[in-house]
Each structure stands twice: as C-alpha cells, then as structure tokens.
Amino acid sequence: MQIDIITVLPELLESPFQHSILKRAEEKGLLKVNVHNLRPYGLGKQKQVDDYQYGGGAGMVMMIEPLANCMEDLRKEKKYDEIIYLTPDGERLNQSIANELSLYENLIFICGHYKGIDERLREHFVTREISIGDFVLSGGELAAAVLVDAIGRLLPGVLGDETSALTDSFQDDLLAPPVYTRPADYNGWKVPDVLLSGHAAKIDAWRYEQSLERTRKRRPDLLKE
Ligand code: ADE
C-alpha cells in the first residue's frame, strides 16, 4: 500500500513512520508513506497556500489551486482508491474504517490547517472525510499519523504474529481483556490462577468473560448492536 500525505508541515511527519511496526512495514515493502510538502505549490513569490475567507471572519482558509495542483500531479502517477481529508467534522475513525482502508492500494491524505480547506476541494476532490475524535487539533498531520498507524499495522505480514491484530480491542466490538507478564506474584499482587493453568479452553473462556465485563463497564455503547 502507498499513502501520499499532503501537508504544509512535512517536518511533523518525519518521525512517526520511522520506528517499530511502521518502520518494519516499510522495510518489508508492505507500506510506503510519501510526504508531500504543499508549499512549493503555493502561489506567487511568497508561495501562498492560504487566504482570508469570503464573507469575513477570523481564520485563514487553504486555497484551491495549491492543493488541486498537487493532487493533479499525484494523480498523473497513480490511481487512488480514496482521497481522504482529515477534519474534525468527518466520520469518526473506528476499527472497522481502519480495516476497510487497509484493503486499498493507494490513498491520499490531505492535512488541513487554519479554518480548513476551500469547500470546493471537498466537493470535487475529496472522496472521504475522517475525524480521529471529537476534539480539534491544530492541523491534520497528527490525525494523519494516527490513521497511517491504525491502517499500517493491519496490512498482512506487518505484525509478526498474524493473529495479534485479531485480538485487539474493537476487532470484535469488544475491548481487549487484561494481560499480565512475569512475575506471577509481585509483592502479593497475583496473576489470575487460570492464566497459569495451561488450560487453553479455560483461558479463552476467561478472556472472553473479561472482555465482555470490561466492555459492559467502560463502553456499553459497543454492545448495543
Ligand atoms: N484536524 C483537526 N482536528 C482533527 C480531528 N479531530 N480529526 C482529524 N483531523 C483533524
């Protein structure tokens, strides 16, 4: 999969994909993240990418031409499955959206800034709008990094143990059960006996019960369906 990210702050996206699981994904050739600086597409000597909004009001708006030209250039090279705009008023990201996007070959992510991007870009270029939660970030870059991570780890072959993404929280609309590692007894705080029993069926049953219990307590909304 290739993800092309368009941003005015490429520096913000230098590090997130160069460690751990996403780094391994790149090394294995399973994921390539290309960060594109929007600035060279800016207009005039100042390479302007934003302007005052029509109708007045505080805050700048990202202009059509720089983004449109940048996307046109990208589209000359590849066909894209989705052009995704990261924005707080998009559909709220969840595991099922991450699963769906992980099946695609080529994605563009647009990182907004200021008051957002000119609405005509959303109407004519953007095919999907995603929010990472009900809060406002100062730009779309960190949201894009979150989305790359959520998708990248799902690509087949990225996680060492293929089953581990399947046992994540949310994969079956349940939160993950508690986990423990050595020592079995830390100053009297003990690991539940069942996990030391070696009885696989009992362990599975315990984990499922714990998942249900945790979901009921913390996220009853997930159980409604
Ligand atoms: N840009 C600013 N806030 C955002 C959010 N919550 N999700 C996605 N993109 C954003």
Domain with residue 6: its CATH number is 3.40.1280.10
Residue nearest to atom 7 of ligand 1 (CA): 131
C-alpha count within 13 angstroms, C-beta hemisphere, residue 142:
8
Does the Cβ of 13 fall within 6 Å of ligand 1?
no
Domain count along the chain = 2
Say if residue 9 is in the same domain as residue 80: yes
CA of 136 to the centre of ligand 1 (A): 5
> Does residue 22 form part of some domain?
yes
- Contact assessment for residue 131 and residue 88, using Cβ atoms and an 8 Å cutoff: yes
143 lines ligand 1 (CB under 6 A): yes
Whether the Cβ atoms of residue 118 and residue 62 lie closer than 8 Å to each other: yes
Cα–Cα distance measured from residue 105 to residue 102, given in angstroms and rounded to the nearest whole number: 8
> Are 6 and 104 members of one domain?
yes
Q: Which atom of ligand 1 is found nearest the CA of 136?
A: 3
Q: Give the pLDDT of residue 167.
A: 79
In this structure, what is the dihedral angle of CA atoms 118, 122, 124, 129, given to the nearest 10 degrees? 160
For residue 185, being part of any structural domain is answered with: yes
Report how far ligand 1's centroid is from the alpha carbon of 135 (Å): 7
pLDDT for the residue 166:
79
Whether ligand 1 lies within 6 angstroms of the CB of 54 is answered as: no
Residue nearest to atom 6 of ligand 1 (CA): 88
* Mean pLDDT per 10-residue segment, the chain (225 residues): 98 95 94 98 98 96 98 98 98 97 98 94 98 97 98 92 76 92 98 98 98 97 85
Atom 5, ligand 1: which residue's CA is nearest? 88
Last residue of a domain, one of 98, 123, 152: 152
Q: What is the pLDDT of residue 171?
A: 77
Ligand 1 within 6 A of CB of 106: no
pTM beyond 0.85, yes or no = yes
Host domain of residue 10: 2-152
- Per-residue model confidence (pLDDT) at position 162: 59
Same domain for 118 and 81? yes
Same structural domain for residues 117 and 53?
yes
